[in-house]
Structure 1
Amino acid sequence: MKMVKPFVWVMIIFLMLAIPQPASGAFWNVTGEKMIHDPSLIKEGNTWYVFGTGEANKNGIRVLRSDNGTNWYTTPVIFPTAPSWWKTYVPNHESNQWAPDIQYYNGRYWLYYSVSSFGSNNSLIGLLSTHSISSGQWRDDGLVVRSTSSSNFNAIDGDLVIDKDGNPWLSYGSFWSGIKLTRLDKNTMKPTGSVYSIASRPNIPNNPIEAPSITYRNGYYYLFVSFDRCCNGVNSTYKIAYGRSKNITGPYVDKNGVSMMNGGGTILDAGNDVWKGPGHQDVYNNNIIIRHAYDATNNGMPTMLINDLYWDSQGWPSY
């Protein structure tokens, strides 16, 4: 048998290491309380928090906490009693609040949330803020943006993103004419200036796209969205898609160069036999992604899934 010289083995190993290998993001071993819809993740000090849609027919925004990132437990809801001003804009709103997004900016934690009724675009996005999540003291910063039955968009699913120059923006939208983006005033954290359309599926009935999440990395803004329909247990058809742009206002294109305004979007996660309808994703710190999916082994319970997020050599996300 012919022997391979040592330097040849060295070259083989070197070449193997030089070739990009497929990455598979690790699932976090989440234990304890896992039930949630529309999760948004943040860390304050050594403590992790997840904010999500409140339980149906119950008041408030759901909040989970973990001291190590894996074992989670419930904490008191935000808004155990609905502020009276909501009914001024959404008279028949659901008791629970939807799709909160939590971000830290300029010394405060900003929590955007949605008030609506299912299937309607008579909706609003409101804002809370605090200097410390653990304090439990939230300031009601009021109305951010609203939509009515005559609007061509739906004011839910707000997502705060900070651009490369330190300016805050809010993306939002669900069905109707798709995903919107507007710049925010740095002091009020409310809209100022134009509203941009950045993603739509005009050739799909009812334009099923929602839950935007934007992150900036290495010269690109990455827009993650959820396609199709959630909230139907194991029959949900939710899936996560993405595209990217050099400019925060777009145009965003997928890996095939298709504009996300024309239905483009590369699928990141369409679920599997256990996890049905994954979606309403939130990207944290560019290396973690959280979303919910319906557990086919547990009566379709909406369950939070957390993964390490990876990026390939061309700058596209994977896990």
Structure 2
Amino acid sequence: MIGLITAFSTPQAASAAFWDTKGDNFIHDPSIIKEGNTWYTFGTGLGSGLRVIKSADGITWSAAPSIFPTPLSWWKMYVPNHEAHQWAPDISYYNGRYWLYYSVSSFGSNTSAIGLASTDRIASGQWRDDGLVIRSTSANNYNAIDGDLVIDKDGNPWLSFGSFWSGIKLTKLDKNTMKPTGELYSIASRPNNGGAVEAPNITYKDGYYYLFVSFDRCCQGIDSTYKIAYGRSKNITGPYYDKSGRNMLNGGGTILDAGNERWKGPGHQDVLNNSIIVRHGYDALDNGVSKLLINDLYWDSQGWPRY
């Protein structure tokens, strides 16, 4: 994480490389967006719906009302043993509406479902339940969690998703329902690393689609080995190659962020407008609490991302 060493001793403006977040910045699996003058970050819930925090400047955060604090009845239909919290939301704005994809599952299982909620205004706090998007069962070789919306260069919506098993998948969405219309594409996997890849995020820039993923293990506090990797492709369906020319379907991926002495296991990243990247990291100076990390995102002369 370039820029973090100085960020801890010197107050940083939101335009600096590292945004030194404070306040109620506890979050896991963050996704960020700005509506008007307010920043919102959505994250995995703690047993009472999806967690939401907000900020006027991107630095000082406070809690906002959670989403679906009472479990929806249809979740049990697809995931009978789902845990009390919902995971890994992704927030995006498309066609005049905010779309929130989220996961319902249980740890270590691929009996999972991705759900969808939407609103015309985040500040209203009123979310429409748009139901099931895609599911997986023990009969599938993938896991339907960690959904992430991407709009291609022609304005068409797609959803990437996946965690462990056979890796990251991609499917095209209907512009009206925002649900899948056809086949699944495989775009990243780690067959020689225990399948440890998840949390995809795709962004388009200057002729390339960039796929960001999280490698290795999350959710173990300062013992987490999570890290962020990336590759790119001329086509949204791949193949995606890293800086060394390795195909991400064969375990490729250039490491962007593997943490440092303070921030352990950074991952579950989200890129906004090709200019900032958010993820969680476990704070070694605060008992391994998972906090919101934000950096300005830069791009080198060859078009590769960097801090």
TM-score under structure 2 length normalisation? 0.95
Structure 1 residues 15-34: aligned runs within 5 Å: 26-34=17-25
Structure 1 residues 82-161: aligned runs within 5 Å: 82-161=71-150
SS of equivalent to 2:291:
strand
Matched, 1:294 2:285: no
Partner AA of 1:269 in structure 2: D
Mapped to 2, the partners of 1:38 and 1:204 lie a distance apart of 22
Mapped to 1, the partners of 2:287 and 2:125 lie a distance apart of 33
Partner AA of 2:185 in structure 1: Y
Matched, 1:184 2:173: yes
Matched, 1:284 2:272: yes
Q: Which runs of 4+ in 1 moved over 4 A?
A: none
Alpha-carbon offset, residue 69 of structure 1: 1.3
SS of equivalent to 1:252:
coil
Partner of 1:266: 254
Range with bigger deviation, 163-172 or 58-67: 58-67
CA contact (8 A) 2:42 2:91 kept: yes
Structure 1 residues 161-180: aligned runs within 5 Å: 161-180=150-169
Partner of 1:228: 216
Cα deviation 1:251-305 (Å, max 9, x = unaligned): 0000000000000000000011100000000000100000001000100000110
Partner AA of 1:183 in structure 2: K
Partner AA of 2:74 in structure 1: W
CA contact (8 A) 2:65 2:125 kept: no
Give aligned-pair identity as a percent.
75
Stretches of structure 1 lacking an aligned partner (at least 5 in a row): 1-22
Mapped to 1, the partners of 2:182 and 2:74 lie a distance apart of 25
TM-score under structure 1 length normalisation? 0.91
Mapped to 2, the partners of 1:96 and 1:74 lie a distance apart of 17
Cα deviation 1:127-180 (Å, max 9, x = unaligned): 000000001111100000000111100000000000000000000000000000
Matched, 1:303 2:291: yes
Partner of 1:18: none
Partner AA of 1:68 in structure 2: D
Mapped to 1, the partners of 2:260 and 2:114 lie a distance apart of 32
SS of equivalent to 1:257:
coil
Mapped to 2, the partners of 1:167 and 1:85 lie a distance apart of 28
Partner of 2:13: none
Mapped to 2, the partners of 1:155 and 1:100 lie a distance apart of 13
Partner of 1:11: none
Cα deviation 1:160-214 (Å, max 9, x = unaligned): 0000000000000000000000000000000001110000011112x00000000
Alpha-carbon offset, residue 67 of structure 1: 1.2
Matched, 1:70 2:59: yes
Partner AA of 1:297 in structure 2: L
RMSD: 0.9
Mapped to 1, the partners of 2:193 and 2:222 lie a distance apart of 22
Mapped to 2, the partners of 1:75 and 1:226 lie a distance apart of 27
Whichever of the two has the greater Rg, that structure is 1
Partner AA of 2:230 in structure 1: Y
SS of equivalent to 2:235:
coil
Partner of 1:15: none
Partner of 1:54: 45
Matched, 1:36 2:11: no
Partner of 1:214: 202
The one of 28, 36, 53 aligned to 1:45: 36
Mapped to 2, the partners of 1:224 and 1:204 lie a distance apart of 17
Partner of 1:13: none
Partner of 2:185: 196
Alpha-carbon offset, residue 82 of structure 1: 0.3
Mapped to 1, the partners of 2:262 and 2:39 lie a distance apart of 26
Alpha-carbon offset, residue 29 of structure 1: 2.1
Aligned length: 294
Cα deviation 1:206-256 (Å, max 9, x = unaligned): x00000000000000000000000000000000000000000000000000
Range with bigger deviation, 64-73 or 96-105: 64-73
Partner AA of 2:222 in structure 1: V
